[in-house]
Amino acid sequence: MADSRPPFRFFDALTIPEVRWFLGAVASFTLAGRALMVIIGYQVYRLTHDPAALGWLGLVEAIPAISLVLFGGHVADHVNRRAILLVTRAVSTACALALAAVSWRQPAAVLPALYGVVFLAGTARGFADPAHTAFEAQIVPKHLTVNASSWISSTWIGCAVLGPAIIGFVFDAWGAAACYLLSAVGFAGSWLCTAAIAPKPTPVQAHREPLLKSIGIGWRFVFANPALLGAMALDLFAVLFGGMIALLPVYADDILHVGAKGVGLLNAASACGALTITLLATHRPPIARAGRNLLLAVAGFGLSVLVFAFSTNFWLSMAALWCSGACDGVSMVIRRSMVRLLSPDHLRGRIAAANWVFISASNELGAFESGMVAAWIGTVPCVALGGLTTLGVVALAATLSPHLRRLQFDVRTLERRLHGANEL
């Protein structure tokens, strides 16, 4: 019998007004946030010329983000998620204005002040990230999860291309303070778009558990689903050791000699590769053989890192970063879809918090690891070692996690296709 269900359409998710407002919030926040972090990293390296200072920058953001995100997940399942986002977006706006004030006259104490504001921004992020993920699930109907996930990822990555690409030119023309003022405008725009979305009900909890027990429930769900745990762990270790974004200011200034404009374009190249893939995923979602595709994508990421490590040509470096971003785009769509499709609604905030622990640990602690190792053995050996380690992590995951390797979804029903009774 012929399949009577309608085919996927490119603009399905965009027919819902609240999804469009949510995309506007994502776009504004991403433009501001990615531009801000590029300029902070470049400003810190220009002040210190020390890769370790970039590592400390990652650690300063990681400490509050990781330590608070589990509590943030509990809050997201017990407090109105829209209200959490409005408060944290307001804090982000204030942080950008504070960075502009700190950078206006370049005082002697600018570096500690930069670290202090980044710490405050990380605190807001600990509450915002799980609330954002859970709030998205309340806005997007389940049957549009993959289509909307691809649109949201594409919006995020598209703005992650534009923000860094533009901000380097702004830095060269008007300095760091102007860059931070532009970021403040973007954060304010995200607040306005979020405010335009109607409030959603706070999930009703059958039982009001104590805080630690409530947090533990989310983690137990993750550990009881080997495929979900395997995907999170794979991303954690691959980016923890293979991530080189934190060291782009070093490459831009000391290896490729392209300055602030170059560091922005290098950041944009990685995001541009991911954008290409996530746009394709709106039409051809890569979840039919999700586990296999995730492993191949992370392996491709590791190979791209190796090429970038040894490149001394700006355009070859851009190409390597584009490829790394394309591989990361496949991984992003698959992991985002898995978290949405495998999480019950009353646990979404806590499961999202567990996922954000993995993401924060890989990104910010990865930046700390990269900065420290680069200061110890040199930037190029550090990045090359990271690429090799990523390939080793993929081989280990493929061997030790058959649940992840065999994970598949039906692209029409979005239901998981099992291979046997022991799959979970």
Domains in the chain: ranges and CATH: 13-201+211-417 (1.20.1250.20)
Q: Which of 45-59, 65-79, 157-171 has the lowest mean pLDDT?
A: 65-79
What is the predicted pLDDT for the residue at 161? 87
What is the predicted pLDDT for the residue at 24? 94
Residue range 223-252: mean pLDDT, rounded: 80
Distance CA 214, CA 84 (A): 18
- CA distances to 104, 194, 352, 367 from 38, rounded to whole Å, are 17, 25, 26, 13
What is the predicted pLDDT for the residue at 280? 79
What is the predicted pLDDT for the residue at 423? 38
Q: How far is CA 58 from the centre of its chain?
A: 14
Residue 290 in this model has a pLDDT that exceeds 90: no
Between CA 332 and CA 338, with CA 336 as vertex, the angle to 5 degrees is: 120
Burial tier of 103 (Cβ tally within 10 Å: 0-12, 13-18, 19+): buried
Closest of 324, 282, 355 to residue 12, by C-alpha: 282
Q: What confidence category does residue 2 fall into, taking pLDDT thresholds of 50, 70 and 90?
A: very low
Report yes or no on whether pTM surpasses 0.75. Answer: yes
Write out the two tokens for 345: 């609604």
Per-range mean pLDDT, top range of 225-229, 287-291, 396-400: 396-400
What is the predicted pLDDT for the residue at 380? 93
Closest of 196, 165, 171, 159 to residue 33, by C-alpha: 159
> Percent of the chain at pLDDT above 90?
32
Residue range 2-17: mean pLDDT, rounded: 64
Residue 5 in this model has a pLDDT that exceeds 90: no
The pLDDT tens digits of the residues spanning 88-144 come to 999 999 999 999 998 886 665 688 889 999 999 988 888 888 888 788 878 887 777
Residue range 378-398: mean pLDDT, rounded: 90
Residue range 291-316: mean pLDDT, rounded: 92
The pLDDT tens digits of the residues spanning 356-380 come to 777 766 777 788 888 899 999 999 9
Q: What confidence category does residue 170 fall into, taking pLDDT thresholds of 50, 70 and 90?
A: very high
